[in-house]
């Protein structure tokens, strides 16, 4: 392992259950590899169904005391967790880049973004208000209070491990819930380091448990166990659908942050520089491996050729390499399957009439590197228009009118994020209202913020994370109806 951590104890490779680090004798381990080099970063204990059940039991046992803690105390622990993450940012960034591949500058940004959820929800913990309801009878008083839903399970993805875990754990714990987390097997080290810092921040044993392992063993127990009252998942629509079906037997509350097929619309009146910068930000962040990534870039006829030329020039200038190296802004993809998907989308597009403006193939560095790519003359019959590429391939489609652009942008079963670029104020309102998406970037390709609701319409998901609404997902409402209150004598 080439990375050197200031605090080597942040590199954890065991299960984290009931406040203990566990490596049961004879238990298999799985290798976490650096996508840039193929080197093994750590061998992590492979959790199984019994471990998942033990973690659920620990979370259940910890629940009464945690939800009884005054909100102010829960808030203080979350804020300490935030502070510890920020104090260890450089080590965490090294870990994240080593297991995930993203450029180190992006890793630092992700860690600060993730920590901000603890800061935000430390405040929200103290603002879980109820209602006093005007009564329908003279002797009755009516109230609604909001209480933690109970033991929560989280299944998180490999693309933003340092942000997606806090986006779920911070509101859950702020609400008074306890949690069992199954991190993606490609990136469990971020989750385990976060658990270590959570323990140092003062989380009681059992409040936050981490069980790396397979979907069939660990994930399925989390989705079906009757003690788990809430399942929160970020990942593909396909897996989300399966988890929702599995969770339905015990009528769990579910939050699903699923796939996207984000359109970018560039109108003739757009500021070209802003449109290029925004398109690069949304398309090439994390090498195109984000759910909110631009997948289809619609450009109006009058600005089309200038846009394609400027985008291709910017993309061709990107520095591809190991994310820890200076100036690199495109690292390797997570694995070879990701490379093969990019290749399949490019070759299908070429066969149907697209042309490569830059890139278009595996990068000369080999491994899971793919050259940042711009395709022109894309059309809706191509795979790339219908499926999320999840890689650094930017297909450009030409359009004529505003109505046509909106119709084509909405013609998908997904509805996570959309972006458009225009300087016309009336169009901003019209198009902003007409797009059927949960997140709209207007003259920007970067919208994510801990204080704003993140989530999708249609098959992109259920529920919202972050912001004022994020904590609602972890609360139940209880109506109290008090009778027999005699009037003043």
Catalog residues that contact ligand SIN under the rule CB under 6 A: 159-160, 163, 234, 290-292, 448, 454
In angstroms, what is the minimal distance from the CB of 454 to ligand SIN? 6
Is 99 an annotated catalytic residue? Answer: no
- In sequence order, which residues have a C-beta less than 8 Å from that of residue 60 and are 6 or more positions away? 151, 178, 227
Among residues 348 and 387, whose Cβ is nearest to ligand SIN? Answer: 387
In angstroms, what is the minimal distance from the CB of 65 to ligand SIN? 32
String of DSSP letters for 117-176: HHHHHHHHGGG---EEEPPSSTT-EEEEEEEE--EEEEE--SSSHHHHHHHHHHHHHHHT
In whole angstroms, what is the distance from residue 237 CA to residue 247 CA? Answer: 15
Is 291 an annotated catalytic residue? Answer: yes
H helix runs in 319-417, sequence order:
336-351, 383-386, 402-410
- In sequence order, which residues have a C-beta less than 8 Å from that of residue 195 and are 6 or more positions away? 12, 16, 181, 208, 209, 210
Query: Which residue from 477, 479, 481 is spatially nearest to 148, judged by alpha carbons?
Result: 477
Written as six digits, the tokens of 187 are: 């990136």
In angstroms, what is the minimal distance from the CB of 289 to ligand SIN? 8
Written as six digits, the tokens of 279 are: 């398109």
3-state secondary structure of 102: coil
In angstroms, what is the minimal distance from the CB of 468 to ligand SIN? 17
In whole angstroms, what is the distance from residue 12 CA to residue 2 CA? Answer: 16
In whole angstroms, what is the distance from residue 444 CA to residue 54 CA? Answer: 45
Select which of 106, 124, 257, 450 is catalytic: 257
CA angle 433, 428, 292 (to 5 degrees): 70
Question: For the chain, first and last CA: distance in Å?
Answer: 80
In angstroms, what is the minimal distance from the CB of 157 to ligand SIN? 6
CB 419 within 8 A of CB 281: no
In angstroms, what is the minimal distance from the CB of 244 to ligand SIN? 18
CB 338 within 8 A of CB 391: yes
Select which of 124, 152, 196, 291 is catalytic: 291
Query: Which residue from 149, 471, 102, 415 is spatially nearest to 257, judged by alpha carbons?
Result: 415
Written as six digits, the tokens of 471 are: 């904590």
In angstroms, what is the minimal distance from the CB of 291 to ligand SIN? 3
- In sequence order, which residues have a C-beta less than 8 Å from that of residue 328 and are 6 or more positions away? 103, 319, 320, 321, 322
Among residues 352 and 458, whose Cβ is nearest to ligand SIN? Answer: 458
CB atoms within 10 A of CB 250: 14
In angstroms, what is the minimal distance from the CB of 446 to ligand SIN? 8
Query: Looking at beta carbons, which pairs linking 12-15 to residues 24 or more positions away fall under 8 Å?
Result: 12/189, 12/192, 12/193, 12/195, 12/196, 13/42, 13/43, 13/44, 13/45, 13/189, 13/192, 14/44, 14/45, 14/192, 15/45, 15/47, 15/51, 15/55, 15/210, 15/211, 15/212
Among residues 142 and 442, whose Cβ is nearest to ligand SIN? Answer: 442
In whole angstroms, what is the distance from residue 135 CA to residue 480 CA? Answer: 11
In angstroms, what is the minimal distance from the CB of 159 to ligand SIN? 6
Catalytic machinery residues: 257, 291
């Amino acid at each position: 392992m080439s990375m050197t951590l200031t605090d080597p104890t942040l590199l954890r490779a065991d299960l984290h259950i009931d406040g203990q680090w566990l490596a049961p004798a004879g238990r298999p381990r799985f290798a976490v590899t650096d996508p840039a080099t193929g080197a093994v970063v750590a061998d992590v204990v492979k959790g199984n169904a019994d471990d998942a059940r033990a973690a659920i039991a620990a979370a259940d046992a910890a629940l009464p005391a945690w939800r009884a803690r005054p909100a102010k105390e829960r808030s203080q622990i979350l804020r300490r967790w935030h502070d510890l993450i920020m104090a260890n940012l450089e080590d965490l960034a090294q870990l994240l880049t080593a297991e995930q591949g993203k450029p180190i500058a992006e890793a630092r940004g992700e860690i600060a973004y993730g920590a901000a959820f603890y800061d935000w929800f430390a405040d929200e913990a103290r603002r879980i208000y109820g209602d006093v309801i005007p009564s329908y009878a003279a002797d009755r008083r009516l109230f609604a209070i909001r209480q933690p839903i109970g033991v929560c399970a989280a299944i998180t993805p490999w693309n933003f491990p340092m942000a997606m875990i806090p986006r779920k754990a911070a509101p859950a714990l702020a609400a008074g819930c306890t949690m069992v987390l199954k991190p993606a097997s490609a990136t469990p080290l971020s989750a385990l380091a976060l658990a270590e810092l959570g323990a140092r921040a003062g989380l009681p044993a059992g409040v936050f448990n981490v069980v790396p392992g397979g979907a069939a063993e660990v994930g399925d127990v989390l989705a079906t166990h009757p003690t788990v009252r809430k399942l929160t998942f970020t990942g593909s629509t396909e897996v989300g659908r399966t988890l929702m079906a599995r969770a339905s037997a015990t009528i769990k509350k579910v939050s699903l942050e699923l796939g996207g097929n984000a359109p970018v619309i560039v109108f003739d009146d757009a500021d070209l520089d802003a449109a290029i910068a925004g398109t690069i930000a949304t398309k090439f962040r994390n090498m195109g491996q984000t759910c909110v990534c631009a997948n289809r870039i619609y450009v109006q006829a009058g600005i089309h050729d200038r846009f394609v030329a400027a985008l291709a020039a910017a993309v061709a200038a990107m520095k591809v390499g190991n994310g820890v190296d200076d100036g690199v802004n495109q690292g390797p993809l997570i694995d070879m399957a990701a490379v093969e998907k990019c290749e399949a989308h490019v070759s299908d597009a070429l066969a149907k009439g697209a042309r490569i403006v830059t890139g278009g193939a595996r990068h000369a560095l080999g491994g899971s590197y793919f050259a940042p790519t711009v395709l022109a003359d894309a059309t809706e019959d191509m795979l790339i228009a219908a499926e999320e590429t999840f890689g650094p391939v930017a297909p450009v489609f030409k359009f004529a009118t505003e109505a046509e652009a909106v119709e084509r942008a909405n013609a998908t079963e997904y509805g996570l994020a959309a972006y458009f670029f225009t300087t016309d104020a009336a169009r901003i309102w019209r198009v902003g209202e007409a797009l059927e998406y949960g997140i709209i970037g207007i003259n920007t390709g970067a919208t994510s913020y801990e204080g704003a609701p993140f989530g999708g319409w249609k098959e992109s998901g259920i529920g919202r994370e972050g912001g004022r609404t994020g904590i609602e997902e972890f609360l139940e409402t209880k109506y109290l109806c008090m009778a027999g209150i005699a009037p003043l004598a």
